């Protein structure tokens, strides 16, 4: 007598639930990291192009670039600007809380930072 091979219905349901859970987390995490890499690139460009500008001009440039790059909810006032040791350093602390299911949330935190030598 031949033995049957294959995945049972319960096994299929288990893998579907597992796949749905991974997809749910992925749909919440991926947009945050897209924003993070966009922010990091934007800060790098801003730091290298505007080393002689004042803090207000840097924040204004940040606001315009954030708008252009569709970075919504990131305020120019939260941009940290340091001029130490001959470097202009721009830092933005990013944080997002994404609800998952039934009172469970995912908290994501990153620090986008870029430096450029002062001219």
pLDDT in tens, 12-36: 999 999 999 999 999 999 999 999 9
Residue 1: predicted pLDDT = 65
pLDDT bracket for residue 101 (50, 70, 90): confident
Provide the residue range defining the domain that includes 101. Answer: 30-117
Q: 51 in a domain, yes or no?
A: yes
Structure token pair of residue 70: 């569709």
Rg (CA), the chain: 22
pLDDT above 70 (res 73) = yes
Write the burial class of residue 15 (CB in 10 Å: 0-12 exposed, 13-18 middle, 19+ buried): exposed
Q: 54 in a domain, yes or no?
A: yes
Q: 11 in a domain, yes or no?
A: no
Q: pTM of this prediction?
A: 0.83
**Considering its fold, how many domains does the chain have in total?**
1
Q: 24 in a domain, yes or no?
A: no
Q: 4 in a domain, yes or no?
A: no
Residue 39: predicted pLDDT = 96
Q: 71 in a domain, yes or no?
A: yes
């Amino acid at each position: 007598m031949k033995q049957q091979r294959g995945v049972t219905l319960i096994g299929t349901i288990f893998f579907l639930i597992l796949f749905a859970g991974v997809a749910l987390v992925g749909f919440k995490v991926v947009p945050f990291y897209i924003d993070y890499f966009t922010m990091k690139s934007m800060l790098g460009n801003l730091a290298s192009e505007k080393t002689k500008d004042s803090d207000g001009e840097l924040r204004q440039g940040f606001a315009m670039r954030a708008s252009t790059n569709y970075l919504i909810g990131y305020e120019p006032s939260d941009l940290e600007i340091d001029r130490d040791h001959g470097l202009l350093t721009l830092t933005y602390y990013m944080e997002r809380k994404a609800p998952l299911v039934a009172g469970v949330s995912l908290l994501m935190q990153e620090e986008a930072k870029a430096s450029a030598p002062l001219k």
